[in-house]
Amino acid sequence: MVHRQEPVSARPDGASPVRTCVGCRARAADRKLLRVVLVDGDAFPDPRRRMPGRGAWIHPDLGCLALAEKRRAFTRAFKVPGVLGVDVVRAEIERLAGSGVGRPHTVEEDRKQVDPS
């Protein structure tokens, strides 16, 4: 009988990668965040997560977008100098909020409960 060992990087079924929101800095499953990429010097939403290049992740919440703008988080995440335009990202977040997908979140929702025992 041959025993096959699972790779260390294998995730259990149903588990998704965890990313950090550039706005509020809370960690959340990637399916709860919006991926943003750099296109011609502007931040551009990538809801299908297929566009090439470095991505930054943000909650689909205008509060997180305001924090990211204030902290210049997109310029740091994309490692570029200057100010990036986020108008297209703002429009996408507003569209998602109108459909009920981008509801405001709390940091407590993103944290996992850990059993102290």
Maximum distance among all Cα pairs of the chain, rounded to whole angstroms: 60
Among 10-14, 79-83, 107-111, the range with the most confident prediction by mean pLDDT is 79-83
Per-residue pLDDT reduced to its tens digit, 58-107: 999 999 999 999 999 999 999 999 889 999 999 999 999 887 655 556 55
| Calpha distance 38→107 (Å, rounded) | 26
> Which helix (H) or strand (E) segment is 20 a member of?
strand 18-20
Is there a contact between 98 and 55 (Cβ–Cβ < 8 Å)?
no
Give me the domain span that covers residue 31.
18-103
Give the CATH number for residue 80: 3.30.1230.10
| String of DSSP letters for 34-61 | EEEEEETTEEEE-TTS---S-EEEE-S-
Domain count, the chain: 1
- How many CB atoms are closer than 10 A to CB 117? 3
Per-residue pLDDT reduced to its tens digit, 14-62: 678 999 999 999 999 999 999 999 999 899 999 999 999 999 999 999 9
The verdict on residue 75 lying in a domain is: yes
